[in-house]
Structure 1
């Protein structure tokens, strides 16, 4: 495909959107942000802002005119809205679609069967079908758990209680990437459209173990941390599976347990074996880099 210049960012707020917006602007792309009608968020002057109705393919198609690519960071609860984005992007002849599939490797057969990722899998299948027809191309970016966000949100460790849950002993490596590096990966994909066409790309800043991060946390805080051992198969997944059997499951009771399984359970492909870091201009973290991220999250 030709050079990508004009990029739509759908979902520029939240955890990931601002980091991607920053890196797209630094890379020299002209960015148009789609916002919900009535949104009051403010963006840099160089950004074009277009209010859209995500439930209207017609509204989205009009807004997509003249765009080369779209990056979606639409929130977890609204992933199905991306099907409208795909349809509209195809109608507007947008060339590349980067979906909101950042995180766990949903191409892994075991991960793809988790209910929490059903919408992501459906989205990937829709993009593959459209790409097969030649109507659009796509790149899915897999990053593992968001490193800095996961630390601060308590997913990886509990900074307040100075504790860390050692799933399955805490010795399994897992790929993890900071929000900034994810933004750089997105920009890298759009700079290399042919090399990243119609496939998944895998990036990571590091692949630590939970035990390693416990030691790092103790080093940077100067205090001992509690490590609690928990079995993914015996302790984490059974309550989530039981909740999903109910007529109206409570998402709060199965979403995080299944995400935890995809990151620290056995056989979910959480430690990426083949990376695209070099292609996208990303360097893996040194021990000092890892310590800096942990230190910032445990202050």
Structure 2
């Protein structure tokens, strides 16, 4: 496969999209951001902004013409909008599509059985179909939960209230990655198109248990005054499905918890592409410093 140099980014204003854009620029790629018409934005001057309408495929094809790759960093609400984006990428002759996977083990179909993640399935099926026909190549990124976001927003540990849930006792290890490392993996994929062609890549910044998170949190904020609970993942999942059936409301937190700490979801990756993609695991000191940064 020829070199990839021109990259279009969808979801560029999101939590992951911003570091992806910045990393692409830093690593020498030419970046075009796909933006909705009339949307406000503040991108670096080196970025080209292409206004698109996801309900007008011609605008997507026009924006993607001449692009070597598309990286999607859209959030959950925009997952299905990747369908017309993939179709446009095929028509425009794009070489590589990186969908907004960026979660648990993308080879584990159990994850996409959860209502929170079900919209990832048709996206994966479409890129696989197009790849099988030789019209597009793809790479899916499995990175686990974003470590910095999970700590910042209290999902791993709540420093403000000094609370933590040790799901199922907190001894199940899981892989987790920082936003910066995930962005670095994207540029690594595009620099190694043949090695990453039509497959899932696995990365992580750390492998942890929640008990280890608690010990690090105590070291960061002091050992006293913590409220520690040990809820059941299975019970939480049953309650979430009961609520969904009764109200139609998706309890996002419960389904994310299941994907990370539930049995059988493969959340602690056994094979890694860190070295290939230039992603480094955090040292013990670096991990502690990151956690301490959110304890203040």
In the aligned structure 2, how far is the partner of 1:69 from the partner of 1:47? 15
Matches within 5 A, 1:242-257: 242-246=242-246, 249-251=248-250, 254-257=251-254
1:38 partner SS: coil
In the aligned structure 2, how far is the partner of 1:282 from the partner of 1:75? 23
Q: Who is 1:108 aligned against?
A: 108
Native 8 Å contact 2:62 2:92 kept in 1: yes
Q: Which moved more, 1:49-58 or 1:271-280?
A: 49-58
Structure 1 gap ranges (5+): none
Report the alpha carbon displacement of residue 21 of structure 1 after superposing the two structures with TM: 0.9
Q: Who is 1:87 aligned against?
A: 87
2:138 partner SS: strand
Aligned residues: 295
In the aligned structure 2, how far is the partner of 1:197 from the partner of 1:69? 12
In the aligned structure 2, how far is the partner of 1:56 from the partner of 1:79? 17
Report the alpha carbon displacement of residue 87 of structure 1 after superposing the two structures with TM: 0.3
In the aligned structure 1, how far is the partner of 2:16 from the partner of 2:220? 26
In the aligned structure 2, how far is the partner of 1:184 from the partner of 1:121? 25
Report the alpha carbon displacement of residue 14 of structure 1 after superposing the two structures with TM: 1.7
Report the alpha carbon displacement of residue 99 of structure 1 after superposing the two structures with TM: 0.2
Q: Who is 2:31 aligned against?
A: 31
TM-score scaled to structure 1, two decimals? 0.96
Structure 2 gap ranges (5+): none
Report the alpha carbon displacement of residue 226 of structure 1 after superposing the two structures with TM: 2.4
2:51 partner SS: strand
Native 8 Å contact 1:163 1:226 kept in 2: yes
Q: CA RMSD in A?
A: 1.0
Native 8 Å contact 1:106 1:120 kept in 2: no
2:206 partner SS: coil
In the aligned structure 1, how far is the partner of 2:82 from the partner of 2:215? 40
1:183 partner SS: helix
Q: Who is 1:187 aligned against?
A: 187
TM-score scaled to structure 2, two decimals? 0.97
In the aligned structure 2, how far is the partner of 1:172 from the partner of 1:71? 32
Question: Does the alignment pair 1:281 with 2:241?
Answer: no
1:241 partner SS: helix
Q: Who is 2:268 aligned against?
A: 271
Native 8 Å contact 2:106 2:200 kept in 1: no
In the aligned structure 2, how far is the partner of 1:182 from the partner of 1:272? 15
Q: Who is 2:197 aligned against?
A: 197
Moved segments of 4+, more than 6 Å: none
Q: Who is 1:211 aligned against?
A: 211
Report the alpha carbon displacement of residue 227 of structure 1 after superposing the two structures with TM: 1.6
Q: Which moved more, 1:111-120 or 1:190-199?
A: 111-120
Question: Does the alignment pair 1:241 with 2:237?
Answer: no
In the aligned structure 1, how far is the partner of 2:274 from the partner of 2:151? 22
